Amino acid sequence: MIIRAIPEIPENVDDGNWEDGLRRLSDPNMLLLRGVAILHLTLTIKTASNSCPHLCSCSRDTVICTGQGLLRIPSKIPPETVRLDLQENKISEIRKNDLKALRHLKILQLMDNQIHMIESNAFDNLIALERLRLNRNRLRTLPDEIFINNVNLHRLDLSENLLTVLTDAQLQGPKSVRNLQLDRNFLTCLDSHVIATWTEMEILTLNRNNLSTMGQLGPMPNIRILRLAENPWLCDCRLRWMKKIISNSHLLARNTQCHRPAHLHSRVLENIDETLMKCSGIEKRAASSCRDASVCPPVCTCTKTTIDCRDRGLTHIPANLPPTTTELRLEQNQINYVPPRAFHNLHQLKRLDLSKNNIRDIGPRAFEGLKSLNSLVLYGNNITNLPSEAFHGLVNLQLLLLNANKLQCLRRNTFSSLKNLNLLSLYDNQIYSIANGTFDGLTNLTTLHLARNPIICDCNLEWLAHLLAKKAVETSSARCVSPKRVAHRRISTLHHSKFRCKGSEAYVTANAGRCIIDHPCPVGCSCLNTLVDCRFQLTGSV
């Protein structure tokens, strides 16, 4: 049915002849039309509300989701959105499908989140994008060609992240960026070929990084803000171009100082005689691009195959480490997170020590790429939970130390890929139960430490008694903590018949393999499934 027009409904029946107005309102046709109008309005409002993501506010072509505690980019963002504000949330990843429908998006605000990973092709459909802010996040690297389709991008803010390297492959795509902010990162290398083509540059900030040199940039006639200070610049012949730019405008890059060579230390670059900026010849052997510039972190001590970063106050895992590294020592720092693929290029690494940090979380596939790793030391941290793919790809791992953490549970598949593991230490954690099958993949296990855990020796742990009876791998004298009838008994010597469940006890640990541990039934009550019956107890509180 097509309704061509809806007759005007009287707004005030008190005006004029109120009896006539009352008759009009009582007319069946008028009631039908009024109902259609209300239904139409309701559907319009409902459609509009459905197109705006939960916890966000929408108006015309703008979506605002500021400070809503979002853990990921919301779905159902209207495809006609031009401005999307997601700042001050807890977003950690940008997936390739999160923004794929937003072909009209021009402004994307993602600052002040916890973003540590951007999937390849995540911005491919943002063909209209002009301004992108990713500052104050946890980015350590960017995918190659991440901006390849963002040809109109003219403002890019990546300041206050954990970036150590930016290559031409990562920056290519935009035709002419006018505002590029990279300050307060950990950059040791910055490719300049793509940046040199952005001749309309107005703002470039590189202050507070670890840059010692940089390739020549092209002419920048519109440059009005250039910040280069607080970098350990090596003022040799390769930085003569930089001196010329600074000298030609006393308003740019003021107080940029040399760090090396020694005779130019702390000298202001624009005041140095250019003839003193010499090269010895070794520079010709320097890496031609950042892709080849794997470096020793400035605060660490490095030999040919060992990187020693013990007790250096590090808060994150260094990136762009030399691929020839066989031993990496990161113990006694303040690292609190191991992101996915944190060591993906270290194919020759054999020993990794992350003990005595403040690590709380380990990302999925955090150690992917470490095909040669045989020792992983993680003791003395604050790890409470392990994703099921935390140790994916560690096919040659022989020793895994997870003792002295705060683990409360183990997912069933956590260790499934560790076929060659010999020693697993879970000593001194807060593990209550372990699901049957958790150790099935550990076919070469010879030593297992489970002591100092509040283990519940109920019917769901009977499988462990059978396992230890066949293979005496538990050598730390682990003991039961509950139920009371078996408390303090050694697990390895307790007969499997003692692992029983009374009443509802089985439900407490039934889902341990999914990291779900229920509370035990209250003393004096009876419990069945989800029912707790305390009718006959004289309790004063719940």
Domain check: are 309 and 442 in the same one? yes
Question: Could you tell me which of 402, 480, 394 has the C-alpha nearest to residue 441?
Answer: 394
- 133 phi and psi, to 5 degrees? -115, 120
- Full residue range of the structural domain in which residue 122 is found: 51-131
378 and 467 in a single domain? The answer is yes
- Identify whether 187 is part of a domain: yes
Question: Could you identify the residue written with the tokens 């549970």?
Answer: 409
Q: Evaluate whether residue 379 is within a structural domain.
A: yes
Indicate whether 248 and 179 sit together in one domain: yes
CATH at 357: 3.80.10.10
Same domain, 166 and 124: no
**For the chain, what is the domain count?**
4
Decide if 295 is inside a domain: no
CB 431 within 8 A of CB 410: yes
Examine residue 502 and state whether it is found in any structural domain, yes or no: no
Residues 392 and 464 in one domain: yes
**Residue 416: Cβ within 10 Å count:** 18
* DSSP code string of 443-461: TT--EEE--SS--B-SGGG
- Containing 208, the helix (H) or strand (E) segment is none
Q: Are residues 31 and 81 in the same domain?
A: no
pTM above 0.85, yes or no: no
C-alpha 335/C-alpha 354 separation (Å) is 8
Residue that is last in its domain, among 256, 272, 288: 272
Q: Round to whole Å and give the CA distance between 347 and 410.
A: 27
45 and 64 both lie in a single domain: no
Instruction: Evaluate whether residue 410 is within a structural domain.
Output: yes
- Residue 298's identity, in one-letter code, is P
**Sequence-distant (≥ 6) Cβ neighbours of residue 311 within 8 angstroms:** 331, 332, 333
CA–CA gap between residue 110 and residue 133 (Å, rounded): 6
Find out whether 109 and 85 touch, Cβ atoms under 8 Å.
yes
Per-residue pLDDT of the chain (542 residues; tens, 9 = 90+): 333 333 333 434 344 443 444 344 445 554 444 443 433 333 333 334 458 999 999 999 999 999 999 999 999 999 999 999 999 999 999 999 999 999 999 999 999 999 998 999 999 999 999 999 999 999 988 989 999 999 999 999 999 999 988 999 999 999 999 999 999 999 988 999 999 999 999 999 999 999 989 999 888 899 999 999 999 999 999 999 999 888 887 678 888 999 988 899 999 998 899 889 988 665 544 555 676 566 677 778 888 899 999 999 988 888 778 889 999 999 999 999 998 888 988 999 999 999 999 999 998 889 999 999 999 999 999 999 999 889 999 999 999 999 999 999 999 999 999 999 999 999 999 999 999 999 999 999 999 999 999 999 999 999 998 999 888 899 999 999 999 999 999 998 899 899 999 888 888 888 888 888 765 566 556 554 455 667 655 555 55
* Residue 325 and residue 426 in one domain: yes
Within this chain, do residues 216 and 329 fall inside the same structural domain, yes or no? no
Do β-strands 83-85 and 107-109 pair in parallel, antiparallel, or remain unpaired?
Answer: parallel
Q: Are residues 323 and 392 in the same domain?
A: yes
SS3 category, 362: strand
Residue 196 shares a structural domain with residue 316: no
Determine, yes or no, domain membership for 506. Answer: no
Inside any domain, residue 148: no
Contacts of 485 (CB under 8 A, 6+ apart): 498
Q: Hey, what's the torsion of the CAs at 158, 162, 167, 172, to 10 degrees?
A: -30
Q: In this structure, what is the dihedral angle of CA atoms 107, 113, 116, 120, given to the nearest 10 degrees?
A: -20
Choose one of 272, 293, 320: the last residue of a domain: 272
Evaluate whether residue 319 is within a structural domain: yes
Helices marked H in 97-238: 168-171, 193-196
34 and 62 part of one domain: no
